[in-house]
């Protein structure tokens, strides 16, 4: 288990496939932070951790991270961040919004009747101009992984 110390930094070097029986401290990360497998972070309770994970895809909420000995230390959680919640009276308008945002390579969280994206005043104005309903929201962001997510980039 994590031990709070002002000097100690716990090095997390592996993901575990099994969920430990005992509860673990949370490691709240934004969507952008979950894409980076290296670097210093702060777990619940102010405990410093250093990610030194293999580059094998984004971290996901619920991932259990362990030290070099395989001892579970933290569980990843999705940190709330400022978002825009986008909805429309007609499904086609929402689909068109997703198309336009995708052309701008904007990360989107897709739901049946709404889109979520990171707060951005320029995009908010564009969406409102197109007649969509836009509300600010503070919530965890879990964008779609994308067509090439999780695949290495290799050349022959």
Pairing between β-strand 26-29 and β-strand 14-16 as defined by DSSP bridges? unpaired
pTM of the model: 0.82
Chunked mean pLDDT (size 10), the chain, 156 residues: 61 90 93 95 94 92 94 96 98 97 96 97 98 98 76 41
- What pLDDT is attached to residue 20? 82
- What pLDDT is attached to residue 1? 47
Decide yes or no: CATH 2.60.200.20 for domain 10-78. no
Q: Which two tokens stand for residue 155?
A: 């050349």
Interhelix angle 121-129/91-103, rounded to 10 degrees, is: 140
Q: Which fold has domain 80-140?
A: Alpha-Beta Plaits (3.30.70)
């Amino acid at each position: 288990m994590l031990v709070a110390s002002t000097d100690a930094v716990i090095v997390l070097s592996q993901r575990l496939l099994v969920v430990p029986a005992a509860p673990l401290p949370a490691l709240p990360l934004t969507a952008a932070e979950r894409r980076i497998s290296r670097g210093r972070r702060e777990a619940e309770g102010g405990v410093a951790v250093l990610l030194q994970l293999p580059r094998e895809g984004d971290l996901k909420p619920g991932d259990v991270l362990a030290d070099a000995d395989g001892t579970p230390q933290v569980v990843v959680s999705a940190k709330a961040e400022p978002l825009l919640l986008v909805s429309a009276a007609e499904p086609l308008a929402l689909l068109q919004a997703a198309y336009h945002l995708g052309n701008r390579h904007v990360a989107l969280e897709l739901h049946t009747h709404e889109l979520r994206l990171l707060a951005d005043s320029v995009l908010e104005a564009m969406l409102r101009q197109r007649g969509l309903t836009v509300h600010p929201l503070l919530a965890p962001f879990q964008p779609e992984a994308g067509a090439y997510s999780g695949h290495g980039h290799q050349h022959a």
